[in-house]
Amino acid sequence: MIRKDPIPDGDLFTAAEKIETTILPDDRAAAKRVAGIIADTIRTNKAQNRQTVLGLATGHTPIGVYRELIRMHKEEGLDFSSVITFNLDEYYPMPPDSIQSYWRWMHENFFNHVNVPAANINIPDGTLPLSKIAEYCRQYEAKIEACGGIDIQLLGIGRTGHIGFNEPGSGRDSRTRLITLDRVTRMDAASDFFGEANVPRQAITMGVGTILAAKRIIMMAFGEGKAPIVRRAVEGPVTDAVAASFLQEHPNAELVVDIAAAGCLTRVATPWLLGEIEWTDEAMHRAVIWLSLETKKSILKLDHDDYDSYHLSSLVRAHHSVDCLNRKVFDRLWNSIAYPDDLPKDKRILCFSPHPDDDVISMGGTLTRLAVIGNEVHVAYMTNGNIAVFDDDARSVVGLWADMNDAFGFKSPAVHAFVRKVNGFLATKAPGAVDIPEVQDIKALIRRTEAISACRSMHIPPEHAHFLDLPFYKTGEVRKRPIGPEDIAIVLKLLREVKPHWIFVAGELSDPHGTHRLCAEAIFAALRQLAKDERPEVVWLYRGAWQEWEPDVIDMAVPLSKTELTDKIFAIFKHESQKDKALFPGPFDDREFWQRAQARNTETAALYNALGLPEYHAMEAFVRYEEPLEA
């Protein structure tokens, strides 16, 4: 979500929020705030010779907090020697050394870097026999109570509204127990386990009642994907269908979110329904588009009664007339439509694609048009995407390679030894296991070959396909390292070689630790190292396979004909390893990527048509990045 106008505050605008909610610009600001609260509590308790008991969560959401606490420990001397921790949950069954284990995750991302005594660390045991779990859970509860209860409980929120693994149906008084995971939760975890089939069906989790017994609760959420469930938890009724809604009953619970995760809250989405707001150009644009869609009337047909009926009288008063207001918003949308003559010619264009198919899925039609009208178009594939290739695809490629060697007389002991090693590993590979380097390389070559084929379909020469293979991604696991200097240096080198006039960047900037966000971080860090005369003329943000920009923030909409959209779909088909069924389709959409792209592009065109703009078959949308690039 790109938000420029201020978010109103004060009792009038927060009245609908039944959990105290703090909205911050991004996940970094949120991490600093939450880590600061935890650090202050530790120091205050230590000064009073008291221990601090923390309830901890795992995953992408709290990792920034742990990194900030680690920094404070190393640079500011924050002492964890009097801290006792209790983790929320663990998959079951789950050995502690598994790459998906929360025990391992906590040690790699926090405990190995601070001085919490090992005896003070408590994480649910995923190795117990089923017959012993109930008693173990009772003992876990008793241990928390014996420590005097949890001082601060850290939470994320799942897309089902779960806290811990308290799925829909979990009661307010539920306690630590073994629970069956909701399918949405399992689908959301599929990427960590290299496929949904490998995700455990059960987990040990603290109960809702256990969580609510904490003295203070801080729940965090980041990114557009969490916005709908955040609204249900904060503004909806208390219900066991959304376990997080029980926090409304806690006297000291706080939600800390970035702007994107707050996007569906009333004071962010439609603050004019709550009271008088400052009518910036951005707020005006958003409100008029909202009114047009609510009334199902095109913008130029909106009248005084429409504005009065939907609490927008003050907006009309801020302008000369309804017609003037309507025309101002309509013209801005009209000017966002990029006809062929509006696009650059004889320029160097560089699209950064986090994975080897984000370019064609998100903006294949625009890239094709830019290439056809005479621009020098380049695509930089930032990661090799190898973890998203099915094992059977690797087997097929290895089999074809072996057969071709035999058929054309290139037989050698080395070939057969290699094939035996790869096939032997894949035949005995445990679910969710990391591939051996040879298999990782085979899968990377599959993605590379597909990307080059898609480039040819978009009229982009193969020599303009750049495979950066950034080091942060090369762990063999779904969980990636933070962006480092070596990643930035690779991007910087390419920028200086290509010298692009326009660049395109995947715009999921609010996703705190996804690959798209990390790639964007590397790009912007590299841009800041360029001299002013080296920087591109324009930086455009595009969206991936799951979401599109809201109409009020779109700066450029490129219309596509039915033929152009069909050509784009055929280019997406070149990514055969992602065809029919992707390894990581996401939790809420079973459609193939080409179907999502087709629907998204036609829906954007239909939205423009509903607002009264010219009717096109499809559109790809972009936002101009205007943040300062000074170091």
Render pLDDT for 563-619 as a digit per residue (tens, 0 to 9).
999 999 999 999 999 988 766 655 556 789 999 999 999 999 999 999 999 999 999
pLDDT of residue 627: 74
Distance of CA 36 to the CA centre of its chain: 25
11-261 and 340-388+436-624 have identical folds:
yes
- Asked whether 484 and 517 are in contact (CB, 8 A), the reply is no
Q: Are strands 253-258 and 465-467 parallel, antiparallel or unpaired?
A: unpaired
Lookup result for tokens 């798209």: 516
Topology adopted by domain 11-261: Rossmann fold (3.40.50)
Q: What is the mean pLDDT of the chain?
A: 93
pLDDT of residue 159: 86
Is 75 known to be catalytic? Answer: no
Q: What is the largest CA-CA distance in the chain?
A: 83
pLDDT at 513 exceeding the cut of 60? no
Domain ranges of the chain: 11-261, 270-336, 340-388+436-624
Q: Which of 68, 167, 564, 620 is catalytic?
A: 167
Q: What percent of the chain has pLDDT over 70?
A: 96
**What is the average pLDDT across 308-318?**
94
The model's confidence at residue 224, banded by pLDDT at 50, 70 and 90, is confident
Alpha-carbon dihedral of residues 397, 398, 401, 402, nearest 10 degrees?
Answer: -150
The model's confidence at residue 538, banded by pLDDT at 50, 70 and 90, is very high
Cis amide leading into 93 (omega within 30): yes
- Asked whether 532 and 348 are in contact (CB, 8 A), the reply is no
- Asked whether 549 and 621 are in contact (CB, 8 A), the reply is yes
pLDDT of residue 478: 54
Whether domain 340-388+436-624 has CATH 3.40.50.10320: the reply is yes
Task: Kindly state the tokens that stand for 366.
Answer: 């625009």
Neighbours of 372 (CB within 10 A): 13
Which of 523, 601, 625, 624 lies closest to 363 in space, CA to CA? Answer: 601
Lookup result for tokens 């992408």: 60
Give the containing element (helix H, strand E) for 468.
none
Give the containing element (helix H, strand E) for 567.
helix 562-573
- Asked whether 159 and 188 are in contact (CB, 8 A), the reply is yes
Residues 14-48: pLDDT tens digits? Answer: 999 999 999 999 899 999 999 999 999 999 999 99
Q: How far is CA 238 from CA 12, 172, 183, 503, in A?
A: 21, 10, 22, 46
Give the containing element (helix H, strand E) for 467.
strand 465-467
pLDDT of residue 509: 62
Q: How far is CA 254 from CA 54, 86, 155, 302, in A?
A: 16, 19, 10, 40
**What is the average pLDDT across 380-392?**
93
Which of 128, 160, 123 lies closest to 144 in space, CA to CA? Answer: 123
